Amino acid sequence: MINRKVELFRGDIFYFTSSPLEDIHAYRYIPDGVLAVSEGKILATGSFVEMKKCFSDASVTDFSGKLLMPGFIDAHIHYPQSEIIGMYGRQLLDWLHEYTFPAETMFSSPEHADYIADFFVNELFRNGTTTCMAYATVHPESVNALFTAASQYNMCMLTGKMLMDRNAPEQLTDTVERGGTESRTLIEAWHNKGRNRYVITPRFAISCTDKQLSEAGRLHRDYPDTYIQTHLSENKSEIDQTLSLYPDCSDYLEVYERAGLVTERTVFGHCIHLSEAESHRLASAGAAIAHCPTSNLFLGSGLFNMREANRLGLQTTLATDVAGGTSFSMLRTMGEAYKVQQLNAYPMSPFESLYKCTLGSARVLKLEDEIGSFKEGCYADFIVVEDAVTPSQQIRKDCLQRTGKWDLENRIFGLQILGDDRNIAATYIEGKAVKFKFITRE
């Protein structure tokens, strides 16, 4: 047998083995357990006592009492908007023109792109996010900067150049030809290089002509293992404007269908106001929806109905949509998802939420053999989570322990409702701890 260096991480192990919507017990929870890591990948999980016997020579990093779980996967986020998080401003279309487009214009400068990419990746790690599917800007430099920043850590990053050939400032528009050529060059340079994956990224139907959307569809046919990301039915004015730009389409989804963009490798942001017919077509195409609750509340876009999405068999993930979203934290995102679903009379279980930020998200991205769980052979991308870092969290934990109710469900739910970046004690990529940096402009 080959002698491999094995490292053990001791703590309370938690991960999903399948969807809790199909089987409420589809997880493994091992109090005082061990995650065994070798060469950056998961080797095994088990109880501390039994694993210590199996790997008697292995070093042990002790996180006793803390949760060890797979890193979060954020399937919809805009890295160029990092600087404009929390900027005051009305609804989607106003917000795009007032804050987003000026911020994205700055990315013609590679120095600016490098600085924001570095900030962004660090902010993800500080919040326990180890993989994301991110929008870049129309500038190829913005994609190079983000893949370069992620590659320094061997992080699994999915991103792509924004395609926009109308209804945006001149500095932010490309053409059908330029968008196609630049995307192809970036795919050849980055897709499947290390852990990088390319995402074909038309912003949304308003900012793309039908020719550009068709070109995006062609790109995907030429490179069928790339991904597609775009926005769908986020806001009522957006839907009205889309249908007036595409008068021969019967609904918003048809705009993307005609271009060949509705695939099982497509993630649509939002989908709040879909008709039942659109939902059925999305479900049968196997496309996924990223539900972004902090963004939907912040921009007043509406209340996504998770119960209905589940009933119709739609694949969904939770995502931040920074900077329409107001937090990089997937814990905060799960907390807000709970409240949005409460307003739909659907008290979403903490297991469903957490699944949709880990294994569920990995499945949507067809990466469940690499990330999202502690299955043997997956990358050791994991986080160490502390239950109580604030007085409120501590007194709640004390109360639950005193009354014999400190169970897994209450433990996870407390993190979702009261937790944030302060609860992330450490983030590991391929078994290596990432040091959080506080990035500021010099």
Q: What are phi and psi of 327, to 5 degrees?
A: -155, 140
Q: How far is the CB of 347 from Zn ion (least distance, A)?
A: 26
Least distance between Zn ion and beta carbon 247 (Å):
25
Q: Taking the complex as a whole, how short is the minimal distance between the CB of residue 231 and Zn ion, in angstroms?
A: 6
In the complex with Zn ion, the residue whose CB is nearer, 84 or 424, is 84
Beta strands in 329-403 (DSSP E): 382-385
Cis ω for the linkage preceding 134 (within 30 of 0): no
Q: Find, among 124, 114, 172, 189, the residue nearest to 146 by Cα.
A: 114
DSSP for 188-245, written as a single string: HHHTTSTTEEEEEEE--GGGS-HHHHHHHHHHHHHSTTSEEEEEES--HHHHHHHHHH
In the complex with Zn ion, which residue's Cβ is closer, 43 or 117?
Answer: 117
Please list, in sequence order, all residues whose beta carbon lies within 8 angstroms of the beta carbon of residue 250, skipping any fewer than 6 positions away: none
C-alpha to C-alpha distances, 85 to 78, 237, 348, nearest whole angstrom: 10, 22, 27
Q: Do the beta carbons of residue 27 and residue 14 sit within 8 Å?
A: yes
Residues at the contact surface with Zn ion, assessed by CB under 5 A: 269, 321
- Are the CB atoms for 72 and 46 separated by under 8 Å? no
Give the DSSP H or E segment for 356: none
Compare residues 269 and 431 and give the one whose CB is closer to Zn ion: 269
Minimum distance, C-beta of residue 229 to Zn ion, in the bound complex (Å): 9
| Comparison of 262 and 290: residue with beta carbon closer to Zn ion | 290
Based on CB atoms, which residue is closest to Zn ion, 321 or 387? Answer: 321
Nearer to Zn ion, 201 or 427 (CB): 201
Minimum CB–partner distance for residue 124 and Zn ion (Å): 16
Min dist. Cβ of residue 234 to Zn ion (A): 8
